[in-house]
Amino acid sequence: MEKKIGIIGVGSMGSAIALGLGSQTEYKLYLYNRSPEKLNKLRGIIDFIKVEELANMLKENMDYIILASKPQHIPDILNELKTLKLNEKTVLVSVAAGFTIESINEFFSDNPIARVMPNTPAQISAAMSAISVNPKAQSQITELESIFQNIGETVLLDNEEQMHASTAIAGSGPAYFFKIIEALSKAGEKQGLKLEEAEKLAIETMYGAALLLKKSQLSPSELRVQVTSPNGTTQAALESFNESKIDQIVSAAVEAACARSKELAKSQ
């Protein structure tokens, strides 16, 4: 039997989720967005039912409603869903940054609620999504993981408080990677390469290293040692990293992202 999934908001994340689910026959998609242009872009790519009013979505008794609008719009949407008397069996899923299970529970204390934080590689079905649920959604965990595995990999958190660390690593992580690529490319240019050559070298090297790490049975440390010949070029570079206290730099960055995540959660 098809599961009915409503997605409210089809910006970059909402549309990525829709694209991942749209090719799966076990899901029937209902999409709502204030701007019809974004919905029109999905026409002909995936099958979905365009929802003009949220009342029409609720009439269909959704199994899941994914809240993918901007965080500042979520309270108004929840108020409208409450006024329209959302089915108590519908699982509400927040993918909005900083919008917590507790925030949704204030509107719908009887519903199963989940918070899922995918990252931007969802756009190419390579997301890393962290999942946290309230007690009423425990029986839907397996299905939630299955839904979000259509856009990449998932990890189930023990509690929602861990979402801050997950956001700091996976949610913000792509930006760290892009920053490293930028830095490597500029460093290569400084050493005499053309910028486009240095950028290609950096991108393909990082891509290959990530694939090797994912497919290998070895740990990151073990693979690093494999690359590092005694007194060689890699050792010289790693010693420079250590002198710059790279571990402390990364730890401080993750700590800053965690702190900001907590601030955003409190402000909702």
> In 3D, which of 120, 112, 113, 122 has the Cα closest to residue 149?
122
* ∠ Cα 160 126 194 (to 5°): 120
Rounded CA separation 94/97 (Å): 8
The β-bridge partners of 8 are 32, 67
Rounded CA separation 22/20 (Å): 6
> In 3D, which of 71, 257, 237, 262 has the Cα closest to residue 176?
257
Taking only the tens place, the pLDDT of each residue in 27-54 is: 999 999 988 888 988 988 999 999 999 9
What pLDDT, on the 0 to 100 scale, is given for residue 37?
85
Q: Which CATH number fits domain 3-166: 3.40.50.720, 3.60.20.10, 3.40.50.2300, 3.40.50.300?
A: 3.40.50.720
- Which CATH architecture best describes the domain 173-265? Orthogonal Bundle (1.10)
Query: Angle 220-227/195-215 helices, nearest 10 degrees?
Result: 130
Cite the beta strand spans of 9-60 per DSSP E. 27-32, 49-50
> In 3D, which of 101, 108, 103, 100 has the Cα closest to residue 80?
108
Tokens of 264: 């955003």
Q: What is the pTM of this model?
A: 0.91
Tokens of 118: 């995918």
Side-chain half-sphere CA neighbours of 28 within 13 A: 11
What pLDDT, on the 0 to 100 scale, is given for residue 97?
79
Give me the residue spans of the domains in the chain. Answer: 3-166, 173-265
Sheet with 27-32, strands from edge to edge, namely: 49-50, 27-32, 3-8, 64-67, 91-94, 113-117, 127-133, 152-156
Sites in the chain below the pLDDT cut of 50: none
Same topology, domains 3-166 and 173-265? Answer is no
Q: What is the CA radius of gyration of the chain?
A: 21
